[in-house]
Structure 1
């Protein structure tokens, strides 16, 4: 539970998990519901807070069907852009695709409506759901579960998944999160740029005096 992990550790060791998901251990409905309850406390634009929706998918046949709609565009993207990421990351992503249908639960984050336009409109729309997605991931991590954001099916297969799941036309699918218990607790802060190298002061490109 959260009391067993300090906040800084939680924030710096919550990773996108693909290889270390327990494919055989069930995820209790009450645990998932509690994590989603916490997620809904995330900040959002007031007018859009009531637009956030979660679709929990447990049925094996449905998960298998959704997984197929993820795999096709994912493998095409990996073939085209895989050279831009590390071999470890690519291998991890490929592993998840192979076992995706075996992950115990999918959670689909969605928003009622469509972004009104690019720029500020899209920023407000997606900015009202991604904090909730991140809070959901943190809540999972604090309870020994993990996930990763996937969105490959949105490239050409969003309508197929919508038809499969009965999602109305006026709902925007944002992210699919495969959820499972973790097979390890050995997560550490990742390699990141130094704060000094990515932070400017008063003017773009100006380092701190």
Structure 2
């Protein structure tokens, strides 16, 4: 009898590794694991090559905090977030008829990766991301027009990764990077 070839184990991404490190650090901070156990598990997570090896490092940890996922929903009207608001790890935005505006330029982003899941019917949507953010729109399906987004040219990506996924019906998504404020320009142009 011939055995079927098995799929090779899938390699983990840097995002997966960063999320695992954050979970381990959080578990230590909350007192779920000792310092020695955290150090050992961090080593496992940082040297893991496959998802099963990474899962071993995370075994027996408490489930992720439910506060890391949030949903904003409206049937019609405007959904808007701006200023210094705390961005959850996963943000679901659902709107049948209204406009959506998310401004993350001054938001508190505590996660290296933020997933924004859009479920939009009609209406426009705009998302302003931090200047140094990395944006991924590969998981977004649009029914009418492609998103308007111009990738920034930069030498070193240092900001959070913003992954935008979901579906949009008849609206259009516009994504832009935040501009420098006057204070930032003044600091950047000062001579040493």
Q: Shorter-chain TM-score category?
A: under 0.3
Structure 1 or 2: more helix by fraction: 1
Structure 1 or 2: more strand by fraction: 2
TM-score normalized by structure 1? 0.19
Q: Looking at both structures, which has the greater relative contact order when contacts are Cα pairs under 8 Å and sequence separation is at least 6? A: 1
TM-score normalized by structure 2? 0.21
